[in-house]
Amino acid sequence: MEDDVQEMPSRLVGGTPAFHRMNLALFASGFSTFAILYCVQPLLPEFSREFGVSAAVSSLSLSLSTGLLAVAMLVAGSLSEVWGRKPIMVASLLLSALLAILSALAPNWTSFLVARMLIGITLSGLPAVAMAYVSEEVDPKSIGLAMGLFIGGNAVGGMSGRIVGGVLTDLGSWRLAVGLIGFIGLASAFAAWRSLPASAHFRPRRARPVELLRSFGEHLRDPGLRGLFAEAFLLMGGFVTLYNYLGYRLSEPPYSLSQSAIGAVFAAYLIGTWSSAWIGALADRLGRQRVLWAMIVIMLAGVALTLFDHLLPIIAGIVAVTFGFFGGHSIASSWVGSRAVTAKAQASALYLFCYYLGSSAVGTLGGLFWARAAWPGVAGLVAALLLAALALALWLTALPPGRTGKDPAAP
């Protein structure tokens, strides 16, 4: 037994070459995943014009993907408990990239939506499994930083997909934009296959559905995890809704911005890349309870700024919302991985199920608020969600220790 303990490989620690290699591979994976998923967001007005659909119907190109992604992650997370982390992640990247290329060739709105639905399913193998991979392979003192860097890759991918989509649509067509992003996805899949270290601490479970379902039940019985799952729904629902209908607002008078200019607004995601890593490391030092609620307050201030008519405060508001969201998401997601004692991929999958359910359900609901009350209606919906998230975050500050006896979120 002592020999087994001595032979157990050490976990990856921040600052080491192995830690850097892992983060580069995960950064590329997150980049590809979120570029493919969100490249359609700035193109919603373009879909409305080309296919003659309303804002709410156009938003289905994103909402259907995120909705199916939410459900499919529950399955992908469970499969990774049996088959391993890396094989699921690489297959997810490869299939999603191929489907993105095919979606660019879709002859009509229905076939395009079908491709986007399938993309939602195939992308499910990356986010939750990557979160579990980090929680297993990284030293606890470096988990916040590692998760923040991974989410930073998500932010850069989401931003790049949106900017590339807007610019290439102006230069050529939305089909060119989506197809190119698909080819970038193929390159990322190859990079992950070659560079991502194999799991050293993963222990496969038996493929017994009853046991896998029992693990879901254990996570849902933990009030702390339930609170974090609800937080994911509220934060992501508000964030995506704001960005979904920003393009409609900025394409209309008095702004009348081009697709390239609207896509450039998504450069605000750069602040999310920085905030996710910085706030994740800050939460490692100060405690997650002390930082999460502050991120939500920053988001609320940003929403208030978007109510001004001038473009400068609107952009400042978007930057504030983006900073707060990615900081809050990095805290909550790493908290889930630390609090879950077993079946970490399933716990991460439940978190992301709620995360993308919020994106899908609230993102489409926002179209009704836009149609009836324009931007003040959208901003009011987002503010209501964030106020609920703030109340929940304050409740989490009094969270009792987890089943480990000491909540890793504690300072």
**pLDDT 10s digits, 73-99:** 878 877 777 777 888 888 999 999 999
CATH 2.40.360.20 is the classification of domain 17-396: no
Instruction: Provide the token pair at 307.
Output: 């109510």
d(C-alpha 113, C-alpha 341), whole Å: 38
Tell me what the mean pLDDT of segment 38-60 comes to. Answer: 86
Q: Which residues contact 135 (CB under 8 A, 6 or more apart)?
A: 143, 334, 337, 338, 340, 344, 348
Residue with tokens 């700035």: 42
Between 27 and 284, residue with greater pLDDT: 27
pLDDT tens by residue, 354-363: 988 898 889 8
- Minimal CA–CA distance to 350: which of 235, 233, 201, 239? 233
pLDDT at 411: 33
Which range is least confidently modeled, 344-348, 375-379, 395-399?
344-348
Mean pLDDT, all residues of the chain: 82
- pTM tops 0.75: no
Model confidence band, residue 36 (pLDDT cutoffs 50, 70, 90): very high
**Residue 338 pLDDT:** 74
**What sign for the dihedral angle of Cα 140, 142, 145, 151?**
negative
| Domains of the chain, residue spans | 17-396
Residue identified by tokens 């990095």 is 330
pLDDT tens, 152-202?
Answer: 777 778 777 777 777 888 888 889 989 999 998 998 888 888 877 777 776
